[in-house]
Structure 1
Amino acid sequence: MTSGISPAAERTTRFHTSAAANLRLRQLFDRGARVLPLLVDRPTASGLDSDTASAYGQVARAGVALDSIDDMRVLLGGIPLDKVSLSLSVDAAAAPLILLYQLVAQEHGVPAERLRGSVRNDVLKEFITPDGTCLFPPAPSMRLTRDLLRYCRTALPRWDVVSVCGHELAEAGADPAQEVAFALANGIAYVRTAVTAGVFVPRLTFCLSGGGNQAEVLAKFRAARRIWARVMTEHFGPDLAGRAVLRRHVPSPWSLAATRTGRPWLRADASLEIETAALRLMHSIERIGGAVRAVECRFQSTALPPDSRVPGPGLQAPGPEAHAAHLRQSERLAKLRAWRVQPSVDDALARLREAAEGDRNVMFPMRSALAASATVGEICETLRGVWGAYQPLPGRR
């Protein structure tokens, strides 16, 4: 596990249309960038189609709307996909978006084994942070992560499928010990899921907050490295322990990580103190039954201070531009549904439902449904019909 500054190529790209995002991505490639960052809008990240009532005002805001294979075709047009790596910032809806990327790459003539990319896919973190996008309850969410790991092992071997986002926990109010404990506990849960599924995890990325006092940051990273090496060696052996990357997240100006107050970890080396406190929290999570069970009990979220997130720049109330984006994507979806072969879509979604009801990998029928022009919203709604939708308890997550 090593630490370092995240490269500039990881900065997310924010554009309103897939055509505009395509133009920007091609400009980045022409300037020498080979890691292309992509951020999707809130409805896409939440598994909702742009024409749903709850998506109004959020379509194509602070990210690209990707409803179907049509949108992905526009987004990736003219980009040599065998020469770039896509950095996709999405969690719960990662699976259908990765499949759309693969399907369009096949249309470009690029074999799946030559595709490179990474996706955040830190679903457990979404249940802890106040504004997380949770599509399904924790256990089915981890089932989908398991199926995605299995699928990418053979179909997309050069994709990194999980990046644990400790910095978002810090922005939600976690102190250094809580950030380390909750992030590493989530990482252990992902490794357990992979090992149980018979999948070797080649690399797990941890992105911890780099904001605040630098002595505190260095101490936090030292503590995280020691804890990870010890826990992974004890539970899984030294091979897996040595295959993780610890990165430093540079916070936005409004990030809580840069302004958080609370317990000062300001001694020359507070790493032992952070390590002791983090291990205490991790032992509590293990006694509950692991990170997934702890999330179900809201152990992590209730440990964070309430209303601790520092407001960011925010989004303005929906105006003409938001209405135009909603109308544009709704028209695209209407045309898609008019042109596609609906019986093929219905059959593919039925096979996806059957796989979700059993234990077969849902990625294969999901790929067939997306190839038949099923939408991301229809995919997620089919899975919600089997697994249920996440219903947070009253109060904080």
Structure 2
Amino acid sequence: MNHKMKHRIERGADMTGADDRYAAWQKKVEDQVKKRPERKAHFKTSSDIPVERVFFPSVFDNAYIGNIGYPGEFPYTRGIRPTMYRGQFWTMRQYAGFGSAKETNERFRYLLEQGQTGLSVAFDLPTQIGYDSDDVMALGEVGKVGVAIDTLEDMEILFDQIALRDVSTSMTINAPAAILLAMYIAVGEKQGVDRKAIRGTIQNDILKEYIARGTYIYPPRPSMRLITDIFAYCSEEAPAFNTISISGYHIREAGSTAVQELAFTLSNAIAYVEAAVETGLDVDTFAPRLAFFFNGHNHFFEEVAKFRAARRMWAKIMKERFQAKDEKSLQLRFHTQVAGSTLTAQQPENNVVRVALQALSSVLGGTQSLHTNAKDEALSLPSEESARLALRTQQIIAHETGVADTVDPLGGSYYVEALTDAVEEEAWSYIKRIDETGGAVNAVESGYMQQEIRRAAYETQKAQDQQNEIVVGVNQFTEEEEPEPDVVKVDEAFVSAQIERLEAIRNERDQQLVDAALDELREAAKGEDNLMYPILKAVKAYATLGEIANVLRDEFGEYTA
């Protein structure tokens, strides 16, 4: 901050203690810059006007600092890092997965060559609900909405020629998250990467599956056990891995409002922390590795406000409700994906504009990681060309707009600050109601959250049907004749090859070793032992995903909504 701006702060009303906080924050900035130098020695506009690290109002008091704070300090309204994107851009993590592990590996390597900085795996539906590719339940779905993963061999192929030492990987997997995490760890070990150095995130958020998405297997309470076992395992064995990505994204895709997305996500997070603490885990041993996943939706300013409110609320929850002491336990780190539900099959070129604006609001809101949808995803799997354009959208925002040159650029806007407060206030009201029902698990089992989302979705659809809410190219500004789009289709021939390879693995593996590992898992499931250890043993013996999931089905049962 320049001398003139510092002087203006010192003239603010009632600055008792503010100078000390400012000096402490400046020290934190200096420490951060030593660890990670800023991208440029001097930040400036195209007209050579200096861009300060962060901007403040000319007159403010302790109430302002208490509510908004400094970047990188409680309550983190303005960001979780003192220098944010001046030191390092967000991770550009494009979601990809289709067909075979080999095809998806080729797309991963292409995206990395194009400048992507992290991987994000989409799994097919059978994998997501614990079925092998040759299971009758998998018929017609293998490789359709993501990559098919049956055994450790598929995971080895998926990351062939990709050094897990150098890349972090996000995996959108929930009910069988423990199995896919075990496979990832095993691949890392085969590459010579110690599990303590392995980096990435598993979604592992089962409560939102019951609420909004539907790829659950087991009932809520044994599912919560799997999650807390992963927390405990990773706190000891894989401390650099994010053990959960608590997801508002799918809640919003199901039709919720921004406030509901925020409130229900944080209520689910509270339930996970409570469950882990009840098992005897100290909150500061696992809370620093909790991550979040939000939707970047259409209302530009509301989305910025939602992200700012989310950080402030989570910091208060962890400090006041759970008495967390570690600063990292208080920091809400989140990935954003722009809103798939807003993409239109009509006039798909319009989706390029939607995606750019949604991505921009996510960056202005301070995301740590971002996926930008491809323009053709309402029609099919994205083509290589459209996937590249989606990535280029992020790169243009990062390198050409200047929005990453200062922290929290919209902070101090009368509108944004008022909207941040309003979103927070309404979200607290929802959380209070959920607490009164006994918490998120009870609210899920009673159908409260589901009903609220259905009500909001109905109101949105009604507004669009009545043209009170305009969707360009759909209910206004339409074309009489739409050109026939080119769509990407999965080659069905790979399914036979996938099933043949699966059969070969079953025939070649040491079946006694597999049976022993599955028996050990069964006994652990009957008792209270951590399930991650026998799952990892079964994975390394080349037990299939379906075999492992079925052992747990036998012991836990299956959930019926």
TM range (shorter): 0.7 to 0.9
Gapped regions of structure 2 (runs ≥ 5): 1-75, 345-353, 356-414, 462-488
For 2:426, give the aligned amino acid. Answer: A
Q: CA deviation at 1:280?
A: 2.0
1:253, distance to aligned residue in structure 2 (A): 6.5
Structure 1 residue 237 displacement after superposition: 2.0
Paired amino acid for 1:273: A
The residue number in structure 1 matching 2:249 is 167
Larger radius of gyration: 2
Q: Residue 71 of structure 1: CA displacement? A: 0.7
Matched letter for residue 81 of structure 1: L
504, 509, 526: which one pairs with 1:340?
509
- In structure 2, how many angstroms separate the alpha carbons of the residues matched to 1:7 and 1:219? 19
Aligned partner (choices 93, 99, 119) of residue 16 of structure 1: 99
Which residue of structure 2 aligns with residue 304 of structure 1?
Answer: 453
What's the secondary structure of 2:207's corresponding residue?
helix
Question: Matches of residues 182-221 of structure 1 in structure 2 within 5 Å?
Answer: 182-197=264-279, 198=281, 199-221=285-307
CA distance in structure 1 between the aligned counterparts of 2:242 and 2:504, rounded to whole angstroms? 34
Q: Residues 1-397 of structure 1: matches in 2 within 5 Å?
A: 1=76, 2=79, 7=90, 9-31=92-114, 33-129=116-212, 131-197=213-279, 198=281, 199-239=285-325, 242-252=330-340, 254=342, 269-305=418-454, 323-392=492-561
CA distance in 1: counterparts of 2:336 and 2:537, whole angstroms? 38
**Residue 59 to residue 247, structure 1, CA distance change in 2 (3 Å):** closer
Task: Report if aligned partners of 1:203, 1:245 keep a CA contact under 8 Å in 2.
Answer: no
d(CA) in 2 for partners of 1:30, 1:271:
38
Distance in 2 separating the partners of 1:148 and 1:296: 23
TM-score, normalised relative to structure 2: 0.62
- What SS is found at the alignment partner of 1:11? strand
Counterparts of 2:537 and 2:242, CA distance in 1: 22
CA distance in 1, matches of 2:120, 2:334: 19
Give the drift of 1:351: 0.8
For 1:138 and 1:349, locate their aligned partners in 2 and report how far apart those are by CA, in whole Å: 23
Superposed CA offset, 1:326-359 (max 9, x none) = 3222111111111112222111111101101110
- Greater relative contact order (CA < 8 Å, ≥ 6 in sequence): 1
Aligned-partner Cα distance in 1 for 2:341–2:278: 41
Q: Deviations over 1:75-124 (max 9, x none)?
A: 12222221111121222221111111111222222221221111211111
Superposition deviation, residue 218 in structure 1: 2.8
What is the match of residue 317 of structure 1?
Answer: none
Q: Percent identity?
A: 37
The structure-2 alpha-carbon separation of the partners of 1:238 and 1:347, relative to structure 1 and needing over 3 Å to count, comes to closer
The aligned amino acid for 2:298 is: G
Aligned residues: 376
Question: SS where residue 165 of structure 2 aligns?
Answer: helix
Judge conservation of contact 1:128–1:169 (CA < 8 Å) in 2.
Answer: yes
- The verdict on how the C-alpha distance between 1:176 and 1:29 changes in structure 2, with shifts beyond 3 A counting, is closer
The answer to which of 161-170 and 272-281 deviates more is 272-281
Range 16-25 or range 270-279, more displaced: 270-279
- Residue 378 of structure 1 aligns with an amino acid whose one-letter code is E
What amino acid is aligned across from residue 72 of structure 1 in structure 2? M
Provide the C-alpha distance between the structure 2 equivalents of 1:357 and 1:99, rounded to a whole number of angstroms: 20
Following the alignment from structure 1 to structure 2, what is the Cα–Cα distance between the partners of residues 227 and 83?
33
Could you tell which deviates more after superposition, 1-10 or 364-373? 1-10
Question: Normalising by the residue count of structure 1, what TM-score does the alignment of the two structures yield?
Answer: 0.86
Question: Partners of 2:129 and 2:253 in 1: how far apart?
Answer: 20
3-state secondary structure, aligned to 1:77: coil
Give the gaps of 5 or more residues in structure 1.
Answer: 260-266, 311-319, 393-397
User: How far apart, CA to CA, are the structure 2 residues paired with 1:19 and 1:206?
Assistant: 29
- After alignment, is 363-372 or 281-290 more displaced? 281-290
Stretches of 4+ aligned residues off by more than 6 angstroms: 3-6
Distance 1:273 1:83, change over 3 A: closer
Provide the C-alpha distance between the structure 1 equivalents of 2:444 and 2:165, rounded to a whole number of angstroms: 38
Q: Give the Cα separation in 2 of the matches to 1:193 and 1:21.
A: 36
